[in-house]
Amino acid sequence: MRRCLSNVDIADLKAKAEQHSANLGALMITYPSTHGVFEAGIREICDIVHSHGGQVYMDGANLNARWG
């Protein structure tokens, strides 16, 4: 069963991305989380980081959760 929850505080991410826009390089996110949870706002998270010139690195180390 794939669960989609929101573990990232989108409003806080937006505020911090704006605050650090001049120096924002990247955001690393484990997707799915170590608990096998898929982030419901992943597209919005990527859009926020990209809009401030950053890249998004999605850690694929948790493949067991993907196949579970």
Question: What percent of the chain is predicted at pLDDT more than 90?
Answer: 53
Show Cβ contacts of residue 56 under 8 Å, excluding neighbours closer than 6 positions: 26, 27, 28, 29, 45, 46, 49, 50
Band (59; pLDDT cuts 50, 70, 90): confident
* For residue 21, pLDDT beyond 70: yes
Q: Where are the domains of the chain?
A: 3-67
Question: What percent of the chain is predicted at pLDDT more than 70?
Answer: 81
Mean pLDDT of the chain: 84
* For residue 62, pLDDT beyond 70: no
Q: How far apart are CA 63 and CA 10, in angstroms?
A: 25
